Amino acid sequence: MAKLEKPPTLTDVARLAGVSVPTASRALNGGVRGTQSGSPELRRRVQDAARALGYSVNSAAQAIKDGRARTVALLVSDIDDFGSATMISGIMHAAEKRGVSVSVRATRDDPLRELDLLTQLRGERHRAVIIGTSRTADTRRETALGAQLNTLAEDGTRVVVIGDSRLPFPAVTVDNREAARLLARGLAETGRRRFAIISAPVSEITARDRVEGFLLGLAELGVAVDPDRIIHRPFSRDGGYEAVRRLEDHLGDIEVIAAMSDTMAVGAIARLRDVGIEAPRDIEVAGFDHVPMLGDLLPRFSTVEVPLEAFGEAAMSLAFDDDAGPEAVIALRATPIVHGVPIRRRD
């Protein structure tokens, strides 16, 4: 009876590639930089050796070895939202480079569901959990979330938060307040003086920062906004639609409706159209986040380009960087766009 040939091992791959076993492992299995570990020439040698020998990575064995699946869990509020969808895309691309998979869960902006999902994740043994949901000023909610995340961290899961928060974990942030300030200044410098603002509830940190920054930018040029013209509704198309409905008694005296998300801006434009007002001919609607489709339809649309896809690489680098302490922060920059023209900042 013919003797069965032993399957190739990682040691065989390392020997053929002329590298150490740990080096071969990092090139194939992913280290801190995932499958980008080592030089391109080194990775090519290891990968060529693996193909020549017919060697494949055993993901199950990897999970058994360190007790964790080669997966990252991502929590977002709503997978249908443009911002969340773009962020998911960036994280998946960054995960692919590291040879890991992404498990996405939607909280539907429900704090109880958020906690339930985190409880479920404890049994799934992910390498990292990335929190991409809206953080709030609700102390009870954030304390409960922090307790769940601490439990995950104590069990060996890396935790990364996207957005400003007081949670003691590595974070990826963006300068929402400063970008909103510059957007407001840019619009006021074109001669606009009569503004309304529509945004999510002030309990959401992102919404609060954007409104505060926008009001500050207007104030620097001597423009004030009547509190009755600041409407808070969810960051959604329907939220924007309903916010403009609340403004209808003031529409004859408004030049610009500044929506603190492009999704809200879409709803605002739809409601204006329903009452016979065209944007931007009659009332200009500005946004925040930079949905590419809006720029295609409205070339002079004013908004802020937030590097949503870049959140992915930044979050994954914090999740896999062994030197990233609880105070580690990667701060990304948003770019205001006024009437289709980006505002270039001076550092």
The model's pTM: 0.78
Query: Which pLDDT score, from 0 to 100, does residue 256 have?
Result: 97
Rounded-to-integer distance, Cα 209 and Cα 202, Å: 9
Cα 308 off chain centre by: 5
Query: Which pLDDT score, from 0 to 100, does residue 137 have?
Result: 84
What are the DSSP calls for 88-153, one per residue? HHHHHHHHHHTT-EEEEEE-TT-HHHHHHHHHHHHTTT-SEEEE-SPPBS-HHHHHHHHHHHHHHH
Where do runs of H (alpha helix) occur along the chain?
A: 10-17, 21-29, 40-53, 59-66, 82-97, 111-122, 139-154, 176-188, 205-219, 237-246, 262-274, 292-297, 310-320
Query: Which pLDDT score, from 0 to 100, does residue 324 have?
Result: 67
Helix (H) or strand (E) holding 161: strand 158-162
Pairing mode, if any, of strands 101-106 and 158-162?
unpaired
Pairing mode, if any, of strands 341-342 and 335-338?
antiparallel
Residue pointed to by tokens 């065989």: 12
Tokens of 300: 């002079």
Domains with residue ranges and CATH for the chain: 10-52 (no CATH), 67-174+308-333 (3.40.50.2300), 176-307 (3.40.50.2300)
pLDDT of the chain, 347 residues: tens digit per residue: 444 467 778 788 888 888 887 787 777 765 544 455 567 788 888 888 888 877 766 554 554 445 556 889 999 988 877 778 888 999 999 998 888 889 999 998 888 999 999 988 888 888 899 999 888 888 898 999 999 999 989 888 999 999 888 888 999 999 999 999 999 999 999 999 999 999 999 889 999 999 999 999 999 999 999 999 999 999 889 999 999 999 999 999 999 999 999 999 999 999 999 999 999 999 999 999 998 777 788 889 999 999 988 998 999 999 887 666 777 899 999 999 999 999 877 65
Query: Which pLDDT score, from 0 to 100, does residue 281 have?
Result: 92
Query: Which pLDDT score, from 0 to 100, does residue 77 have?
Result: 87
Query: Which pLDDT score, from 0 to 100, does residue 68 have?
Result: 56
